[in-house]
Amino acid sequence: MPMTGVLRPGHAQLRVLDMEESVHFYTNVLGLKETGRDKSGRVYFKAWDERDHNSVILRQADRAGMDFFGFKVESKEVLENLDKALKAYGVTTERMPAGEMMETGERVRFKAPTGHTFELYAEKNHVGNGLGDFAPEAWNPDQKGISPVRMDHALIYGKDIDGTRKLFEEVFGFRVTERVKLEDKTTDLAAFITCSTKAHDLAMVRHGEDDKLHHVSFRLDSWEQVLRAADIMTMNRVSIDIGPTRHGITRGATIYFFDPSGNRLETFCGGYEWYPDMHEITWPVEEVGRAIFYHDRKLNEAFLAVVT
């Protein structure tokens, strides 16, 4: 695939209001594996089939939200090149030293036009999925709770989504897969962009306030796993925003729900394989309901209003 050196969404650092309650939730309900805690009190998690040490980091704070979202790149050389490219594009970058985040190498940090902090990094220690690299079994039976396969993408809210989209397109080589257009048929209400064959690795919605998180998303293997996830949410009295249902955009089947601090998360499955020779898909704002919630065909109140 002819793309840049960005591999995938690699980590998200989320702010939570009560660490103990949150660790219980992310471990036993969402079913991530706790992989470590650092001196500053942050707790690190990975999804079962991820091989790197961590993909979700929780930090206790007095308000919910996402501190930053990181992408793993192919190599240290790519990291250096993308840092230069960011600067050439006019973006200020900052270096976070290796080890500042557990088991993770040096990170290049920058602020996107929507106010979100993003990071690039080339190194995170490989801890594996418990199956080994030699004649492995098909999956790891040591799982709790919903137990997604991997952290998959985020949907962010902010003002200048054109600026953030362009930065990812022009500096990192992301490609637009789908857009929702406002009444003027020109302005994007939302854009979905990818650095792989996934229908989206990052998505953004135009919103009056910057640096907001709509959701961080976790991949499940099947629609039956989506039902099981919803059941587990109810058994644990997790606040479900919507679902199980399907998105028109990406075709993925989904549940939106909230962690105990009010951060929206998603568990989903499916979605088409995207290739760069496919035509971009456009949704008019009149169809935004079906675009987002394919069965209800209307947005719920929370979709545009509730972010952290």
Q: Which stretch binds its own copies (CB under 8 A): 35-43, 95-103, 157-165, 217-225?
A: 217-225
- Cβ distance to its own copies smaller for residue 28 or 60: 28
Place of tokens 């990094």: 121
Nearest alpha-carbon partner for 93 in 72, 107, 73:
107
Residue 150 lies near its own copies (rule: CB under 8 A): yes
Residue type, 33: K
CB 246 within 8 A of CB 252: yes
Which of 42, 165, 198, 207 binds its own copies (CB under 8 A)? It is 198
Which of 27, 117, 187, 196 binds its own copies (CB under 8 A)? It is 196
Which of 56, 244, 265, 307 binds its own copies (CB under 8 A)? It is 244
Considering only residues 19 to 58 of the shown chain, the ones binding its own copies according to CB under 8 A are: 49, 51-52
d(C-alpha 189, C-alpha 185), whole Å: 10
Phi and psi at 118, nearest 5°, equal -115, 160
The question of whether 53 is a catalytic residue gets the answer: no
Q: Cα 202 from chain centroid? A: 7
> Residue 281, exposed/middle/buried by CB under 10 A (0-12, 13-18, 19+)?
middle
The question of whether 200 is a catalytic residue gets the answer: yes
Question: Residue 95 CB, nearest distance to its own copies (Å)?
Answer: 21
Residue 276 lies near its own copies (rule: CB under 8 A): yes
Tokens of 279: 């035509």
- Cβ distance to its own copies smaller for residue 114 or 267: 267
Cβ neighbours of 26 (radius 10 Å)? 23
Question: Residue 34 CB, nearest distance to its own copies (Å)?
Answer: 19
The question of whether 123 is a catalytic residue gets the answer: no
CB 184 within 8 A of CB 229: no
d(C-alpha 266, C-alpha 254), whole Å: 7
308 by DSSP, 3-state: which? coil
**Could you say which of 53, 116, 153, 207 is catalytic?**
153
- Cβ distance to its own copies smaller for residue 72 or 214: 72
d(C-alpha 294, C-alpha 273), whole Å: 19
The question of whether 275 is a catalytic residue gets the answer: no
The question of whether 26 is a catalytic residue gets the answer: no
289 by DSSP, 3-state: which? helix
Which of 39, 273, 301, 305 binds its own copies (CB under 8 A)? It is 273
Nearest alpha-carbon partner for 171 in 201, 195, 197:
195
Question: Residue 82 CB, nearest distance to its own copies (Å)?
Answer: 11
Residue 2 lies near its own copies (rule: CB under 8 A): yes
Which of 20, 100, 183, 224 binds its own copies (CB under 8 A)? It is 224
Question: Residue 300 CB, nearest distance to its own copies (Å)?
Answer: 11
Considering only residues 62 to 101 of the shown chain, the ones binding its own copies according to CB under 8 A are: 72-75, 78
Cβ neighbours of 134 (radius 10 Å)? 5
Phi and psi at 86, nearest 5°, equal -60, -45
Residue 1 lies near its own copies (rule: CB under 8 A): yes
d(C-alpha 45, C-alpha 13), whole Å: 10
Residue 227 lies near its own copies (rule: CB under 8 A): yes
- Cβ distance to its own copies smaller for residue 67 or 178: 178
The question of whether 215 is a catalytic residue gets the answer: yes
Considering only residues 154 to 183 of the shown chain, the ones binding its own copies according to CB under 8 A are: none
- Cβ distance to its own copies smaller for residue 61 or 240: 240
Among all residues, which ones are annotated catalytic? 153, 200, 215, 247, 256, 266
